[in-house]
Amino acid sequence: MGRELHLHSMVVHAVIAFAAVAAAAFALDAAGASFAGVAPGTWPLLWRGSLLLVLLCALPATVTGITERNHMYARWHGSHRAKLILSLSLLTLAACELAAASAPGGAPRVGSALGAAVVAGNPLVCLALSFYGLRISLGRQAVARTSYVPDMMKTPPVDVLVSAAAHVAERARVIEVMEEGG
């Protein structure tokens, strides 16, 4: 049997990347800059297209985050709730930014509400989502500091992989849940 793909883990990276591209392209568009051979007229297409891709990728990222979470955890921890609220915020932000970008107006300004949302809002939400995502994927459900001390800092150093290798040949211990309670 092959390894199961975790779509959520794969899709969220695209959301973060497109949010960063949108922020940089918006700032360069507002400055009217040419950078790396990209003409100033190209930036609006790049930041608007990136915002659209943030929205289109954030939808499956949110849905797969909910469905994969329900398969792996028995209940919703605070980190999961925070990620859901942040994901819905990012979806709302991207939709509002696209609506504002389609309205007739002057040149984009970083100091405008749209500029602040694209250049600062989306990256900050993505940073918070990454923070909570790493908390969850590294096995921690709390925001509090950990009391963990790495084994390699002990004297003498302990390599967990060497310790675990001794147990590789053992048969797995299977607990039949239906028989345990009765």
Task: Please state at what angle helix 78-102 crosses helix 43-72, rounded to 10 degrees.
Answer: 160
Task: Indicate if the alpha-carbon torsion angle 46, 50, 51, 52 is positive or negative.
Answer: positive
70-95 pLDDT, tens digit per residue, is 666 667 778 888 999 999 999 999 99
136-164 pLDDT, tens digit per residue, is 777 655 555 554 445 556 666 666 667 77
Give residue limits of the domains in the chain. 7-137, 151-180
pLDDT for residue 154: 62
Q: Which residue has the higher pLDDT, 117 or 109?
A: 117
- Of the chain, the percentage scoring pLDDT greater than 70 comes to 77
End-to-end CA distance of the chain: 33
The region of weakest confidence among 18-32, 117-131, 151-165 is: 151-165
pLDDT for residue 49: 95
